[in-house]
Structure 1
């Protein structure tokens, strides 16, 4: 069963996308959508985290509507032109 939601994506451009969400009462991932596995280096120090997606969730998204880019505001500065 797919649980759909609308979200804003930022890569490669801002857009509204329709995506799936993890099952909130999943006993494997507790609704997070995946299981994190920490691992260490040869000295036993923390070296990172691997993330394994849970089968209760699919990582797909469909772009619905690209959002416009707002022009950047330029800070007020000095001008050489007279005020009239």
Structure 2
């Protein structure tokens, strides 16, 4: 098992500990699986892509470690850049 810390964004931002594919796997070359294109039986046209996961890892194996709280945004008071607080003289 090769564990890695990641950030999950659904349903809420959380730090998770997840398994990663074996980097020297001869079946998937460390990618975790293969994309497989398939076509419609009647016309033979492209119908989509399926993901075939490799048995060297379990993509559903993950543990939530720490939910990340949402910090409220601070509202900055509106400052007019052209107000009389600045000098009217050119910068010589």
**TM bucket normalised to smaller:** 0.7 to 0.9
Gaps in structure 2 of 5+ consecutive residues: 79-92
- Structure 1: stretches of 5+ with no match in the other structure: 78-84
For residues 7-46 of structure 1, what are the structure 2 equivalents within 5 Å?
7-41=6-40, 42-46=42-46
Q: CA RMSD in A?
A: 2.1
Mean CA deviation greater in 2-11 or 37-46? 37-46
Secondary structure, counterpart of 1:13 in structure 2: coil
Aligned residues: 76
Q: Would you identify which runs of 4 or more consecutive aligned residues in structure 1 move more than 4 Å?
A: none
Distance 1:56 1:36 in 2: 16
- Whose Rg is larger? 2
TM-score, normalised with respect to structure 2: 0.71
State TM-score, norm by structure 1. Answer: 0.77
Instruction: Name 1:80's counterpart in structure 2.
Output: none
**Is 1:66 the equivalent of 2:67?**
yes
